[in-house]
């Protein structure tokens, strides 16, 4: 099967890198013939043989259209601009007008050899200005003066460059049996046109909310550019969802965004990101062997200690709320004397925030020494996993008793999945897709609540048998739902069905577990009754938790 894989490079996604997920998919489905098309991706993000279309910098060279072609272009451009300027109104036909204008521009690009010069022309600017100043248009679209409208025109030209890409012939997208887009941004445009012109099935996979990312990135833009580009991406997402044969969100949080943007419920199938567990799986196997041998609290690997160790991993940035974790650790130390906290950070970090967290840790936890002749040690240890000679992530997990996620804002919690592969029990805050990922295999507490975080961590640090049960359940869940194998298997079946003209049977959205894992995995020699959870865990959670778009 010939698959056209359409990507925008590293704009979030599985393990934070869309390109890494694409590489894994191509490797694991080697029996298919993949052609990779990268819109706006840097050269280093693309495998060899990728067809690239840069979106930054000046537009490709081109000549202005002739008189008849110019009239066709302005009609289509004006229709699209009108839909963008009125996208926030009560008229329910703006999505149809946007699609009509977009396909009209695609026909112009096909007839006239591309649109870069036309989209940056003075005529396009005048058309955009007239549309934004017409009655009923969004006031924000015309509030920035000529400079703002010119910035909006240039931004729209960059987003529409895929219409002019030389990819629509019989030796490229015309030969594809299936188009697979990794976002609903500009990368989806070639798949949208292939579906419209050729009837090629379009599969859309999102492991990050592309529309939300645009909203956040556009906050500092001039008002006309912000209003028009936000409307463009919103209407493009809605049109892509309508045209897609199948849509695969990575978790329920992304699925809710897609449904709010018009994705048909019957075409949604959740496919969790796959992860190459590697050494992490070996740590989990060792933990499972220790549990079966009766040594449920055993640890192996880096610097094993008698003191219980709490582990946090990830990038240090304000949204991860390390400040709340450090304050919670003061209470944890009061209930579990000698407990230690390892903060293992890697990847891009906020250096100022990291310095503030180090300072706070030094203030809250002075160095401790066993006697007057021994150098003191701080119970909070910062480990830079990217530094030369740093321990491997798997070794850090192997030396931990409990893994904690303290985020106030989170998407798909990759760090929790890593801990689950290692067979470690987890305590995490109820943000993003955390509840869906953890299921019944860990404790979940409200975000920005150091007291609840401390109670949950202390309860598990004092109970090695319970940690062992939760860790075993977490490992089984990770292997079943979050492995690279299950991800590739799911897409192999979808490719087969879509190429054959079949839409896979409707699958129900995942339902979070309602009880903790020890309710079904009691400790040996017990009656099977789970320990009574603290008060915050006994509160009934409304069915709409996480249902908003924030």
Average pLDDT of span 263-285? 91
Which residue do the tokens 């897709």 mark? Answer: 433
* pLDDT on residue 216: 87
| 550 confidence band (pLDDT: 50, 70, 90) | very low
Q: Which of 78-92, 202-216, 247-261, 337-351 has the lowest mean pLDDT?
A: 78-92
Cα–Cα distance, 104 to 100 (Å, whole number): 6
Q: In angstroms, rounded to a whole number, what is the distance separating the alpha carbons of residues 520 and 513?
A: 12
Q: What pLDDT, on a 0 to 100 scale, did the predictor assign at position 89? A: 57
The per-residue pLDDT for 295 is: 64
Q: Where are the domains of the chain?
A: 2-60+161-267, 67-153, 279-482+520-538
pLDDT band at 335 (very low <50, low <70, confident <90, very high): very high
Q: Of 29-43, 141-155, 312-326, 371-385, where does mean pLDDT reach its minimum?
A: 371-385
Half-sphere exposure of 353 (CA within 13 A, CB side): 13
Helix (H, G, I), strand (E, B) or coil at 45: helix
Q: How far apart are CA 434 and CA 414, in angstroms?
A: 10
* C-alpha–C-alpha distance, residues 384 and 398, integer Å: 17
Residue 379 in tokens = 């119970």
Mean pLDDT confidence for 38-66? 77
Write down the architecture of domain 2-60+161-267 according to CATH. Answer: 3-Layer(aba) Sandwich (3.40)
Dist. CA 36–CA 75, nearest whole Å: 33
Question: Is pLDDT at 469 greater than 80 in this prediction?
Answer: yes
Q: Tell me the CA distances in angstroms from 185 to 201, 208, 234, 261, 305, one per residue in order.
A: 18, 11, 9, 13, 49
- In 368-454, DSSP assigns E strands to 380-384, 402-405, 426-429, 443-445
The reported pLDDT for the residue numbered 537 is 45
Higher pLDDT, 508 or 420: 420
Task: Tell me the pLDDT of the chain averaged across its residues.
Answer: 85
pLDDT above 70: residue 533: no
In CATH terms, are 2-60+161-267 and 279-482+520-538 the same topology?
yes
What confidence category does residue 14 fall into, taking pLDDT thresholds of 50, 70 and 90?
very low
pLDDT at residue 301 in the model: 45
Overall average pLDDT of the 278-307 stretch = 71
- If pLDDT is split at 50, 70 and 90, which confidence band does 504 have? low
Averaged pLDDT, 504-524:
48
In which region does residue 274 sit, left (phi positive, over 0), alpha (psi from -120 to 50) or beta (all else)?
A: beta
Q: Which structure tokens are listed for 215?
A: 């909203």
Run of H or E including 342: strand 340-345
Whether 449 shows a pLDDT value over 50: the answer reads yes
Which range, of 17-21, 26-30, 281-285, 504-508, averages the lowest pLDDT?
Answer: 504-508
Backbone angles phi and psi of 259, in degrees to 5: -65, -40
229, 155 in Cβ contact below 8 A? yes
Work out the pLDDT band at 58, boundaries 50, 70, 90: confident
pLDDT for the residue 542: 41
Which pair of structure tokens corresponds to residue 366?
Answer: 């002075």
Strand ranges of the sheet holding 426-429, from the earlier edge strand across to the other edge: 380-384, 340-345, 309-314, 402-405, 426-429, 443-445
pLDDT in tens, 104-125: 999 999 988 788 889 999 999 9
- The pLDDT-based confidence of 435 (bands split at 50, 70, 90) is very high
**3-state SS of the chain: helix, strand, coil percent to 5?**
50, 10, 40
Residue ranges with strand state E in 30-160: 33-39, 51-53
Q: Centre a 10 Å sphere on the Cβ of residue 294 and count the other Cβ atoms it contains.
A: 9
- In this predicted model, what pLDDT tens digit does every residue of 519-531 receive, in sequence order? 444 334 444 344 4
For 22, the token pair is 């694409």
Contact 472, 293 (CB under 8 A): no
Q: Categorize the per-residue pLDDT at 515 as very low, low, confident or very high, splitting at 50, 70 and 90.
A: very low
| Beta carbons within 8 Å of 220's beta carbon, 6+ residues apart | none
Which residue, 259, 246, 231, is CA-closest to 549? Answer: 259
Mean pLDDT in residue range 250-266:
92
Superfamily of domain 279-482+520-538: Glycogen Phosphorylase B; (3.40.50.2000)
pLDDT, tens digit, 9 for 90 and up, residues 370-423: 555 566 688 999 999 999 999 999 999 999 999 999 999 998 999 999 999 999
Q: Is the pLDDT of residue 307 over 90?
A: no
Structural element, H or E, at residue 477: helix 464-481
The string of DSSP codes covering 296-310 is: TT---STT--SS-EE
The C-alpha atoms of residue 184 and residue 235 are separated, in whole angstroms, by 10
């Amino acid at each position: 099967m010939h698959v056209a894989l359409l990507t925008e490079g590293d704009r979030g996604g599985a393990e934070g890198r869309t390109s890494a997920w694409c590489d894994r998919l191509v490797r694991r489905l080697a029996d298919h013939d993949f052609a990779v098309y990268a819109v706006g991706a840097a050269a280093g993000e693309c495998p060899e043989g990728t067809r690239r279309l840069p979106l930054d910098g000046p537009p490709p060279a081109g000549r202005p259209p002739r008189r008849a072609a110019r009239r066709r272009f302005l009609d289509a451009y004006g229709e699209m601009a009108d839909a963008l300027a009125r996208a926030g109104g009560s008229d329910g036909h703006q999505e149809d007008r946007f699609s009509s204008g977009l396909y009209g521009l695609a026909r112009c690009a096909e007839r006239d050899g591309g649109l870069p010069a036309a989209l940056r022309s003075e005529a396009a600017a005048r058309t955009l200005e007239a549309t934004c100043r017409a009655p009923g248009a969004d006031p924000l679209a015309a509030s920035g003066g000529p400079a703002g409208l010119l910035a909006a025109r240039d931004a729209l030209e960059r987003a529409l460059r895929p219409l002019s890409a030389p990819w629509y012939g019989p030796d490229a997208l015309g030969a594809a049996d299936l188009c697979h887009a990794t976002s609903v941004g500009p990368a989806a445009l070639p798949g949208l046109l292939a579906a419209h012109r050729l009837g090629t099935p379009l599969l859309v996979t999102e492991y990050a909310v592309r529309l939300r990312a645009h909203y956040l990135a556009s906050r500092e833009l001039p008002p006309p550019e912000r209003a028009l580009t936000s409307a463009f991406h919103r209407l493009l997402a809605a049109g892509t969802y309508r045209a897609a044969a199948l849509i695969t969100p990575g978790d329920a949080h992304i699925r809710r965004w897609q449904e709010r943007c018009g994705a048909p419920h019957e075409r949604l199938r959740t496919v969790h990101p796959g992860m190459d567990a590697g050494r992490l799986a070996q740590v989990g196997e060792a933990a499972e062997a220790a549990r079966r041998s009766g040594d449920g609290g055993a640890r192996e690997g880096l610097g094993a200690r008698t003191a219980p160790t709490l582990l946090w991993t990830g990038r240090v940035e304000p949204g991860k709320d390390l400040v709340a974790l450090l304050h919670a650790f003061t209470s944890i130390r009061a209930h579990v004397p000698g407990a230690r906290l390892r903060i293992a950070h890697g990847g891009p970090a906020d250096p100022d925030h990291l310095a503030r967290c180090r300072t706070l840790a030094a203030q809250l936890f002075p160095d401790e020494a066993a006697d007057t002749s021994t150098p003191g040690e701080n119970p909070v240890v910062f480990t830079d996993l990217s530094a030369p000679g740093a321990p491997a992530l798997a070794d850090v997990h192997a030396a931990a008793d409990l893994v904690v996620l303290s985020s106030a804002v989170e998407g798909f919690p990759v760090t929790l999945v890593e801990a689950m592969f290692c067979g470690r029990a987890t305590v995490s805050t109820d943000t993003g897709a955390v509840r869906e990922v953890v299921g019944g295999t860990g404790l979940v507490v409200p975000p920005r609540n150091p007291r609840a975080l401390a109670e949950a961590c202390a309860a598990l640090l004092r109970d090695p048998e319970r940690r062992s049960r939760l860790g075993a359940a977490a490992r089984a869940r990770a292997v079943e739902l979050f492995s690279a194998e299950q991800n590739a298997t799911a897409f192999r079946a979808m490719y087969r069905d879509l190429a054959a003209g079949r839409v896979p049977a409707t699958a129900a959205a995942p339902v979070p577990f309602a009880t903790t894992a020890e309710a079904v995995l009691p400790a040996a020699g017990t009656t099977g009754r789970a320990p009574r959870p603290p008060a915050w865990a006994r509160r009934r959670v409304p069915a709409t938790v996480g249902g908003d778009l924030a």
